[in-house]
Structure formats: C-alpha cells, structure tokens
Amino acid sequence: MSPTVLREKDYRFFFFSREESRAHVHAVCPDGEAKFWLVPEIELARNHALSRSRLKEIEGIIEVHYEELKRAWEERLG
C-alpha cells in the first residue's frame, strides 16, 4: 500500500512511487478510486466506479489542499 498523504471525509489520498513522473494524486473511498493530475492544472486522469458527485467532491478537496499535495509530491517523488 502506498503512503497516505491526506485523509478527508471517507477519502484517502496517496501517491504511487513507481508511476508517471507527472505530478498526480490518487483518491480512494468505499465506492471506487480516481487519479487526478496536479499539473499543469487539476484534471481527472482516470476514474474507476466513482459518480460525478464523488469526483466533484474529490476535486474540491484537491483544490483546497493543492499546495500541500504538490509539496508532498515534490518531497517524495520530485
């Protein structure tokens, strides 16, 4: 399991260490999982079983914690 960088509501946000070099974050919850690019802007990269409302909620959380997530990416994988 990849280290958790953020938990909010029932979401766990994390990075995989052996994946693309472009900054991104994964979010998982009981309903499914998604991957969002962090650069050049926040954008859905992949979705597995999450509803539109879940995706919008995740994107909102990423927006609020954007600087923290980018910093965590740089510290761990940059």
**How does pLDDT run across 32-78, given as a tens digit for each residue?**
999 999 999 999 999 999 999 999 999 999 999 999 999 999 988 87
CB hemisphere CA count around 21 (13 angstroms): 1
- Does the structure show a pLDDT above 70 at 20? yes
* Residue closest to 39 by CA, chosen among 16, 71, 11, 3: 71
Residue 13 three-state SS: strand
Contacts of 33 (CB under 8 A, 6+ apart): 26, 27, 47, 48, 49, 50
pLDDT of residue 1: 58
Tally of structural domains, the chain: 1
**Residue-level pLDDT at 59:** 98
Question: What was the pLDDT predicted at 21?
Answer: 85
Tell me which residue range forms the domain holding 42: 4-77
Q: Return the DSSP state at 42.
A: -
